[in-house]
Amino acid sequence: MPPQTVSLPSSSPPPAPPSLVKDADDAVPRIVPVRRTGRWAAAVAVLVLLALAMDSVIRNDAFQWDVVFAYFATASVLRGLWLTLWLTAVVMVLGFALGALLAVLRLSGNPVLQAVSWGYVWLYRSTPILVQLLFWFNIGALYPQILGVSTVSLLGPVAIAVIGLTLHEAAYAAEVVRGGILSVERGQIEAAQSLGLGPWRRFRRIVLPQAMRSIVPPAGNMLIGTLKGTSIVSIIAVQDLLYSVQLVYHRTYQVIPLLLVATIWYAAVTTLLSIGQRYVERYYARGTAGAR
């Protein structure tokens, strides 16, 4: 019988089935972006509605845009705008100066000073600013004379507006400053004390720069709020921006276009203040993770 040959199995792997063979281009998975159909549909719908609203405002003759442009930069309106800006600046400076003092009294170890500061903040935050202004406007009924001078002659409408707004803003500024000081870590102050720094130098070099990170954002919001809040002084006949346009439309009966004049000026100044606030926040946020 002839010898039988036995074939040994080959060491090479068996060929893969045709269905499992992949081309070189298919070896790397493709990244397919997620289709956000709902998001784009919502964006298109909002843009269409916004375009329709803008078209109705621009093409609506009732807005009387020619009258708006005619009165936008008149002398009376610019004088009212200047008084509004002046009131805003004076009230913010005096309000934060008084508010910083109230914050220091609140943080002091003297219980009497703490109680006085707390009571002041409670009182002025509990009553509307309009009530406060009307109270100061009628202060002559309580004190006809101060140091031998008639109250009516001593306190004119502008002085009453400055006093009323300043005392109101000081209550809120006190809480802003107090919150900023409390945001500074206690270890920073203790480290400064261990270096032998005095109270004033410790406050100026250590506490204040770190507290400003927490003070600036709400202070910027207060500034914008004060700018718009000055319009309330028109109730006591202070010729700010709003009162100036009111004098015009009481004479011409063009209420809507004159109110648009005031609205555009308020929006323009508020936008500039918001831009400045952003840069100031970025300056004091240097070195923090969220600084942009």
pLDDT digits (tens, 9 = 90+) for 254-273: 999 999 999 999 999 999 99
Counting beta carbons within 10 angstroms of the beta carbon of residue 153, is it exposed (0 to 12), middle (13 to 18) or buried (19 or more)?
A: exposed
Tokens of 239: 């010729």
Does 9 fall in a domain?
Answer: no
Does 153 fall in a domain?
Answer: yes
Does 109 fall in a domain?
Answer: yes
Please tell me the predicted confidence (pLDDT) of residue 214: 85
Please tell me the predicted confidence (pLDDT) of residue 21: 47
Does 55 fall in a domain?
Answer: no
User: On the CB side of 33, how many CA atoms lie within 13 Å of its CA?
Assistant: 3
Is 33 strand, coil or helix? Answer: coil
Instruction: Convert the pLDDT of each residue in 68-111 to its tens digit.
Output: 999 999 999 999 999 999 999 999 999 999 999 999 899 888 89
The whole-angstrom separation of Cα 50 and Cα 74 is: 31
Does 33 fall in a domain?
Answer: no
pTM: 0.77
- At residue 133, does pLDDT exceed 80? yes
Does 206 fall in a domain?
Answer: yes
- At residue 150, does pLDDT exceed 80? no
CATH number at residue 109: 1.10.3720.10
Does 24 fall in a domain?
Answer: no
pLDDT band of residue 204 (cuts 50, 70, 90) is confident
Q: Which domain holds residue 191?
A: 63-283
Does 86 fall in a domain?
Answer: yes
- At residue 285, does pLDDT exceed 70? yes
The tally of domains found in the chain comes to: 1
Q: How many C-beta neighbours within 10 Å does residue 161 have?
A: 26
- At residue 152, does pLDDT exceed 90? no
